[in-house]
Chain A
Amino acid sequence: MARKSHVQTTINGETVEFLCEPRQSLLEVLRDELHLTGAKEGCNNGNCGACSVILDGRLVNSCLVLGAEIDGKSVETIEGLADPEKLHPIQDAFLENAALQCGICTPGFIMSAKALLDKNPNPTEHEVRYWLAGNLCRCTGYDKIVRAVLDAASAT
């Protein structure tokens, strides 16, 4: 077994330190070491988006990032999105639009949508669909998810 690396990073605005084996992905570190289980493992090879997080301002699949790579970087996860007393507008829009059924893909979709709206606050339906194509949902047929993201865009 390789020696564990010591990593210091910022997660949802807080400085966090952890030890990880080089083979542990950021997703594994978040879930198993830091107990931030909002990011989900759906495929572990970058094809479903359930593990989406924002790394230094850019959307990534946390299953395709090594934990060791995030030393000195900044990570945003679903757990950091809401204020203590108030949901983020995207979260509200998902609830208002019934944009989730089982909910397993929801954290990934919300983080992906946040990355989109941070960059493009007024996307078209096509832009939303293009941006979210890396996030699979098997329950909703995407209709209500796309509407939720468009609603969140117009609400902010």
Chain B
Amino acid sequence: MAEKKEYKVIGTRPIRHDGVDKVTGRAIYGGDFQITGLLHGRVLRSPHAHARIVSIDTSRAEAHPGVKGVVTAQDLPTAADKMADLGEGAVNLKYLCDNILASDKALYKGHAIAAVAATNPHIAEEACELIEVEYELLPPVLEVRQAMEPDAPILHDNLRTSSLGETGDKPSNVASHFQHKKGDIDKGFDEADIIIEREFVTGTVHQGYIEPHNATALYNPDGQLTVWCSTQGAFTVREQLAEILQYPISKIKVVPLEIGGGFGGKINVYVKPLAALLAKKTGKPVKVLMNRADVFEGTGPTPASYITIKMGATNDGKITAAQTSLFFEAGAYPGSPVGAGAMCVFAPYNIENAQIDGYDIVVNKPKTAPYRAPGATNAAFGTETVVDEIAEKLNIDPLEIRLMNGAKEGDRRADGPVYPRIGFIETLEAAKEHPHYGSPNGKKYHGRGIASGFWFNIGLESSVTINVNPDGTVNLVEGSTDIGGTRASIAMQAAEVLGISAESVNPTVVDTNSIGYTAVTGGSRTTYATGYAAYEAAQDVVKQMKERAAKLWDVDEDNIQFADGEFSSINGKEEQISFKDLSARLGETGGPVIGRATMNPAGAGGAFATHVVDVEVDVDTGKVEILRYTATQDAGKAIHPSYVEGQIQGGVVQGIGWALNEEYIYNDDGAMTNASFLDYRMPTCLDLPMIDAVIVEVPNPGHPYGVRGVGEVPIIPPPAAIANAIYDAVGIRMTELPMSPDRLLKAMGKI
């Protein structure tokens, strides 16, 4: 259904609807929320990475002047060991509750133990220090290979490995093992003239959103719980609260305020149930804010991993076989994104014979959370480095080998799905034609690298209603929290249908009582799925407005057409009325018009990206400077190209940070030693050049305008692209992330 056509609104670059509020400081983010009688909550966290909790004495804290309430795991409803369906996957309820407040064991440094509400945040902090916790220290295990050792410390006595349908018979840190197979892997390697097998290690990294987690909760005497917060999904917060608090969904209202970044990290709840528990205990509204160390130590980073990749190719460059084992840290509780990593690891290539094994392993770190294309960046670091090495050994240009093997419509991914129309090849061609790729690259210690990436994107549920105003504008009501300009990208799709300007649509993100169920802003789904719902809701408006025009002109509805913002009669009477003029006559033709749509679209379409990077290596210090960066990406159809470019540029820079410096650094006791923005080194603007974002448009057949999600795939290629560029510059293959100066110095033999 999607084809190249001319649009009036789509593809233009209007000012975003929430822009003025955000440049004037008026936009209200979760932490900005104020309410009469507000108390302030703070959280006591475990100083130990692994410890049994022997006792918790809160009496001194409760007696501290200004303290109004203290909660511990004892205040959570009994956590039965049952499964609950919670947004992105099923989560074991005990694990879910224990991650909010540790009951029997503290499983990572930063694990919440208790929370205090007081008249001001400083008093709440003081009271946290007065809580006496007796711990029995246990040895921590911090790395997947160590966690798999037979004598490794065990995190969960009741955890048995679930492997290919079988359940293990003794406690293990390996929560699960799965496998995907395609073709005949042995035959594939037999056909290969060259086989490259490498091991890769990636560090634990954090989403690094600038706004810490926050929540304000209020219980009314009638049992109604209201939570104001920053979240990627108000409805998933409602579900998680209902499960954790064992409280009816009908009594919970979640009000999403503006959100200061998430990247997957603001789907899981942390302080929201604590605010609710404290609000219940005190009878007052309670605001709980994290500080930056809490964010690093107490919320889900994305996992470190150990990855083996083996790929074989014929001398003419055809990849005949690919095999990988992906060992991902789950953190303290099962549930790493290894499954998503497995879906993406070989996805850019059409490989006849493949085998993928995935392992989900618990370690004494915070429970991991999604981070922008979760699992795919780790996996692509391995694959794309090995592909580069094959190309080098076979003396084939690295773009050419990708063009030769690149996946196309009809090819089957190793984990099963068959591709619809996709645009991988087009991203490669765009990179090849870009002046960057043709520019000279010969200076000493300068190098160029390329890498590609795939992310599958998701659909899920979205709801939109559209109210028509008498002046020909519309109010669009949606449930997708706007984390990067989606009010605009959703509104523009409705505007295109209605033949009105983007500015004539007023989008509002509302609470869980005011719109139909809408899944998280995540999985690169919002412009795709909620935009699709906006398209359908606008079509519903058009349909109803046609009825009104028919009534006005006393003709059959089938005789009304709508084009270019004008309703007209196509048979008999020559009548015409603009959308605006008809909007003014809704009262007399039957009352207000409200368009509505709910969706769960299945055709998200995959997104591909190819990146080219030039680096300079300081061989005396091991420091890598990014000199030039070009990212090509299939966006399907860019609704608002500026924000598509912004997603690409932002994803690239997060990938650069992951590649070069970002990691959780631990001491021997299992404590993170760099839990600050000073020492968790995210890129500043002085570390970067401009990022040239090249939008390729291969329309997604699963969306009326051809939209593909764009948010996640750009983070995937940078680590591999930079590793390949470093190799080009100094002849060293880096296989560990981050490729920090000390690691590079070591690899070059300088230290």
Contacts and interface: CB of A to CB of B under 8 A. Distances in A.
Is there direct touching of A and B in the complex, by C-beta distance under 8 Å? yes
Given A39-B25, A103-B258, A48 B210 contact: yes
A103 B24 contact: no
B292 A43 contact: yes
Nearest to B123: A1
A138 B25 contact: no
A129 B649 contact: no
Contact of B31 (A40, A87, A110, A140): A40
Contacts, number: 185
A82 interface: yes
A77 interface: yes
B260 A102 contact: yes
Nearest to B682: A136
Contacts of A82: 24
A78 B646 CA distance: 23
B13 A38 contact: no
B652 interface: yes
A65 interface: no
B346 interface: no
Interface in A53-77: 77
A104 B651 CA distance: 17
B454 interface: no
B653 A98 contact: no
Contacts of A117: none
Nearest to A139: B650
A129 B650 contact: no
A95 B684 contact: no
B24 A87 contact: yes
Interface stretch (B315-323, B407-415, B686-694): B686-694
A79 B688 CA distance: 30
A29 to B, nearest CB: 12
Contacts of A122: none
Most chain B CB within 10 A, of A79, A94, A100, is at A100
B209 A138 contact: yes
Nearest to B31: A41
A43 B677 contact: yes
Interface stretch (B14-22, B129-137, B268-276, B471-479): B14-22
Interface in A86-137: 87, 91, 94-98, 100-107, 110, 128-130, 132-137
A35 interface: yes
B260 A104 contact: yes
B559 interface: no
- Main secondary structure on A side of the interface with B: loop
B122 interface: yes
B292 A42 contact: yes
B27 interface: yes
A138 B729 CA distance: 28
Contacts of B261: 101-102, 104, 138-139
B684 A141 contact: no
Given A41-B31, A95-B19, A101-B483, A145 B258 contact: no
Contacts of A132: 684-686
B83 interface: no
Interface residues on B, range: 35 or more
A42 B22 contact: no
Most chain B CB within 10 A, of A100, A103, A106, A137, is at A103
B29 A104 contact: yes
B646 A105 contact: no
B143 to A, nearest CB: 27
Contact of A48 (B26, B34, B677): B677
B211 interface: yes
A133 B684 contact: yes
B484 interface: yes
Nearest to A42: B210
Given A96-B15, A101-B485, A103-B260, A45 B24 contact: no
A103 B27 contact: yes
Nearest to A35: B34
Contacts of A134: 684
B643 A138 contact: no
Most chain B CB within 10 A, of A39, A100, A104, A134, is at A104
Contact of A141 (B259, B291, B688): B688
B646 A87 contact: no
B212 interface: yes
Most chain A CB within 10 A, of B25, B29, B643, is at B25
A42 B650 contact: no
Nearest to A45: B676
A22 B298 CA distance: 29
A128 B640 CA distance: 26
A75 to B, nearest CB: 13
B260 A40 contact: yes
A26 interface: no
Contacts of A41: 31, 212, 289
A142 B646 CA distance: 9
Contacts of B651: 141
B23 interface: yes
Contacts of A100: 19, 22-23
Contacts of B483: 101-102
A81 interface: yes
A77 B649 contact: no
Given A37-B25, A40-B211, 13 more contacts: A21-B122, A31-B32, A40-B31, A95-B19, A101-B650, A102-B484, A106-B22, A138-B210, A141-B651, A142-B684, A142-B685, A144-B646, A145-B685
Pairs A-B, 9 closest by C-beta atoms: A38-B25, A104-B260, A141-B649, A141-B653, A103-B22, A78-B25, A98-B642, A101-B484, A142-B685
26 contacts: A37-B31, A37-B32, A40-B211, A45-B676, A47-B676, A47-B678, A79-B26, A87-B24, A96-B15, A98-B16, A98-B645, A102-B259, A103-B22, A103-B27, A106-B23, A107-B25, A128-B685, A129-B688, A136-B677, A136-B682, A138-B208, A138-B682, A139-B650, A141-B691, A142-B685, A143-B690
